[in-house]
Amino acid sequence: MKKFVLLTATVCFVLMMSAFALRAGAPLPKANPNALWQYITKTNPYKNWKPWPDHKGIQPGRAPHGPFHRVFVNDIALSSTNPPVKYGSIIVKENYNKKKQLKIITVMYKVKGYNPKDGDWFWAKYNLQGKAKPYGKPKGCIGCHGTRAKNDFIVLHEFK
């Protein structure tokens, strides 16, 4: 009986782990706001991702993004040791108000050939229902983050 329980537990564990690995390894989405939202909330939920090692947890932020934020990066971004980061990198930033209530989700997604002159980033700003505005190649996002072009347009992480 004990053996049976142990075996069942092991099988369940292996199945769970492979389901997790499959989701993380699912094909990356198109550079499209709905496909990207689906990917980061359902296919490979960003809440399971890690922070940059030099920017963990809820941190104070600046305009235009709001008083507090928390950043999540996918494994592809995390394994990038130098700028530019690898294609397929996704950075999700949760933006909170003064009371630390989640308000807006901003995303950068590195897509090969999408916008070579500005770092090939797909940009999106979502409300909590997943509606994006603006998205794509907004001049605002690119203009401001462009001051960090040498760091692949990324503000909150220094590559060492």
Using CB under 6 A, list all residues that contact ligand HEC: 61-62, 64-65, 69, 71, 91, 93, 106-108, 123-125, 134, 138, 140-141, 144-145, 154-156
Least CB distance to ligand HEC at residue 2 (A): 50
Rank residues 23 and 133 by Cβ distance to ligand HEC and give the closer one: 133
Least CB distance to ligand HEC at residue 105 (A): 9
Rank residues 22 and 158 by Cβ distance to ligand HEC and give the closer one: 158
Least CB distance to ligand HEC at residue 137 (A): 10
Rank residues 20 and 86 by Cβ distance to ligand HEC and give the closer one: 86
Q: Assess contact for 95 and 72: CB atoms under 8 A.
A: no
Q: How many CB atoms lie within 10 A of CB 56?
A: 11
Rank residues 53 and 140 by Cβ distance to ligand HEC and give the closer one: 140
CB-based burial of residue 65 (10 Å sphere; 0-12 exposed, 13-18 middle, 19+ buried)? Answer: middle
Rank residues 17 and 139 by Cβ distance to ligand HEC and give the closer one: 139
What are 120-126's contacts with CB under 8 Å, separation 24+?
Answer: 120/84, 120/87, 121/145, 121/153, 122/31, 122/36, 124/33, 124/36, 124/37, 126/33, 126/37
Least CB distance to ligand HEC at residue 26 (A): 21
| Alpha-carbon dihedral angle through residues 49, 54, 60, 65, given to the nearest 10 degrees | -60
Least CB distance to ligand HEC at residue 113 (A): 19
